[in-house]
Chain A
């Protein structure tokens, strides 16, 4: 009897409670030690040898270029529950999730001579991208 109840309970719960464990990986993380292979004043060639091809490139307003290498390793754990009331037109839903991992990356700013001017790394959202040169009208 207990065994049957144990088998049926997940079926009954499935309508209102669900757990999830998802992982999304976009691109590969920056190789360990790669940022030590170049320094301020290094040629762009050294940066490309260490980091490979950037995810994005744009022209800086003051001249030169910004190069970004981005990767994402988001993990989402969560459980959600919903309950339906007969006299209610809405479906109340409760849920929580744990988003660990953000889009991380490295931003390298090159001057007009294509030499490293600045290196930033961390959460891409907090890297404060420098302004782009506006597109010609």
Chain B
């Protein structure tokens, strides 16, 4: 057996190890906190008419209650986070996108609803890399079209 033939298996092994070592490792992760809020249920709340008891019956227990003088404010929220990472040997890239559904309802001193503030964005969360534009109008409209209650 020539020296060349003896080295060939070793070179193949080295090449395999090298390929495995430099192969990019892609990681995806998703985290959720609380159930997404229902846009249709929130739109059904009527300032001046709905009471705190009715709001709680529809939306459940709030995440937070803030007293504001004789008024009070209840917060409801749900978050979704998507993480994408590309782990190379000497250079790593990562992207974290976290967005929320958030509703604040404000009540007067008689516990009657006065204001509703709502944001529904948890469904717009995307897997992406650092240079991606995840907040483009087109991207958000596309995501909105897929979520019930978000259509105008």
Contacts and interface: CB of A to CB of B under 8 A. Distances in A.
A53 B89 contact: no
Contact of A24 (B92, B93, B96): B96
Which of A29, A53, A65 has the most CB atoms of chain B within a 10 A radius of its CB?
A53
Nearest to B85: A22
Contacts of B67: 59
Contacts of B66: 57-59
Given A27-B100, A63-B69, A114 B115 contact: yes
Contacts of B75: 57
Contacts of B52: none
B104 A54 contact: yes
Given A10-B90, A11-B89, A52 B130 contact: no
A13 interface: yes
Range for the number of chain B residues in contact with chain A: 35 or more
B117 A53 contact: yes
Interface string A31-65: 00000000000001100100111110111000111
Contact of A25 (B91, B93, B98, B102): B98
Contact of B130 (A21, A26, A57, A65): A21
Contacts of B18: 7-8, 11
Contacts of A112: 69
Interface stretch (B1-9, B24-32, B118-126, B144-152): B118-126
Contacts of A11: 18, 21-22, 89
A23 B95 contact: yes
A16 to B, nearest CB: 10
- The contact size tier of chain A is 35 or more
30 contacts: A7-B22, A8-B18, A10-B22, A14-B89, A14-B90, A18-B90, A21-B92, A21-B94, A22-B93, A22-B95, A22-B96, A25-B134, A25-B135, A26-B96, A26-B98, A27-B98, A27-B99, A27-B100, A48-B104, A48-B115, A51-B117, A52-B118, A53-B117, A53-B119, A57-B68, A58-B66, A59-B66, A59-B67, A59-B69, A114-B71
